[in-house]
């Protein structure tokens, strides 16, 4: 993957390059706001849909911004395997893949693997909760608008706002889904 991205052995990978790697393999990035109190593997998840042969990656945009590259790399590993590795084996592979992609040096890779799921609450910045319109604008600028446009199109094709669909699709509380459903309804058709 590092060679495919044109990275030198010791060169750091950027968040933009990780986003582009997801897009290159056809993964759909879905920014969600699950709150900042999540730890471990609750900050991102990916799903492979065999019928459409697509991978959807949900990223908690309320997590620490310094953790985002790790979660992008971790979920990229799951997407590349089409979730063929399950359970502990799948998580171990994704952790190792992310560590080596982010820091290919053996010592750095072991350091990153050792830090997985270790959350230090002291000194963490608390990010204010964005409005759903802000979430769409800011996340769309970073990750693309495909997921938001697909949900907006689904609502239009089904002739109305559907907070329950949005809540289930993104695993968010119904109150947040009501606000997001309204913001999606207001998106221009594309």
> What are 29-52's pLDDT values in tens digits?
988 888 776 666 678 989 888 888
Beta-carbon-side half-sphere exposure of residue 83 (alpha carbons within 13 Å): 13
pLDDT at 189: 81
Name residues whose C-beta falls within 8 Å of residue 151's C-beta, 6 or more positions apart in sequence: 165, 166, 169, 184
Beta bridge partners of 47: 56
Residues of the chain with pLDDT under 70: 37-41, 105-129
| pTM for this prediction | 0.65
Residue of 153, 160, 141 whose CA lies nearest to 187: 153
């Amino acid at each position: 993957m590092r060679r495919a991205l044109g990275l030198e052995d010791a060169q750091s990978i950027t968040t933009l390059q990780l986003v582009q790697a997801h897009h290159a393999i056809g993964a759909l990035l879905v920014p969600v706001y699950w709150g900042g109190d999540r730890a471990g593997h609750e900050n991102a998840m990916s799903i492979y849909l065999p019928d459409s042969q697509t991978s959807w990656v949900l990223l908690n945009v309320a997590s620490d911004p310094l953790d985002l590259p790790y979660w992008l790399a971790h979920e990229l590993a799951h997407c590349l395997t089409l979730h063929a590795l399950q359970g502990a084996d799948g998580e171990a592979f994704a952790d190792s893949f992310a560590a080596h992609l982010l820091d290919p040096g053996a010592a750095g890779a072991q350091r990153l693997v050792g830090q997985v799921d270790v959350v230090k609450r002291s000194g963490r910045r608390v990010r204010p909760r964005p409005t759903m319109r802000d979430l769409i604008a800011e996340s769309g600028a970073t990750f693309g608008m495909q997921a938001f446009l697909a949900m907006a199109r689904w609502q239009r094709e089904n002739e109305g706002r559907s907070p329950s669909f949005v809540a289930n699709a993104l695993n968010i509380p119904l109150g947040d889904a009501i606000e997001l459903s309204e913001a999606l309804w207001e998106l221009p058709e594309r």
